[in-house]
Chains A and B, each alone.
Chain A
């Protein structure tokens, strides 16, 4: 059983389009995250939700909108895609405290 699963694995789209990435975790964790990994492999947090409430919102363009319908799901919708949005997006989950992050296998987004 995949603990943190995200779909799709690959996403190729043109500038200006709107796209969504879905994430689900079956670990019973309370906190979910979206991370962006650029071409240099830097991992940068974008958002974090705890029990469906937004707790971290880094300096991310408002074209990015996360949605958490329940604590097992955290989706990411991106409007008006730009070339600079091309990256690998990782969903992750954890429990509170010093619980480790569990990452999904990423969604590689390519904007042409």
Chain B
């Protein structure tokens, strides 16, 4: 019940295309869902986050779509660029718990020039 399932494991997209990464969770106590971006040799960095009281959040080319009833959320990267090539992690947190973020297994995105 503590898992966050992430797919796909890897993704190759042409420059200008849309990258979509999906995550699903079981624990209904989760109430904060961030996405992290990690470049080689660096730590993960927050990209965008959403709370379950909204169904969508957009920041520039990055959008989170959230389906509370299905317990799923996804990251959409519009107009994907080679600089977006990185590993992406979804995560979930229960803010009334012990600050324990649960991470998905990661998606390696490669955007071809």
Contact = CB atoms under 8 A, between A and B. Distances in A.
A98 B51 contact: yes
- Chain A to chain B: the 3 pairs with minimum beta-carbon distance, closest first: A103-B43, A98-B32, A100-B46
B100 A43 contact: no
Given A43-B106, A97-B95, A105 B101 contact: no
Interface string B27-53: 000011010101001111110010100
A42 B43 contact: no
B99 A55 contact: yes
Interface size class of A (residues with CB under 8 A): 20 to 34
Contacts of B34: 100-101
Contact of B44 (A43, A44, A45, A94): A43
Interface residues of B, number: 25
A83 interface: no
Nearest to B100: A56
Interface of A: prevailing SS: strand
Given A42-B105, A42-B106, A105-B42, A94 B49 contact: no
Contacts of B44: 43, 90, 101, 103
B47 to A, nearest CB: 10
A94 to B, nearest CB: 7
B66 interface: no
Contacts of B98: 48, 55-56
Interface in B95-113: 95, 98-101, 103, 105-106, 108
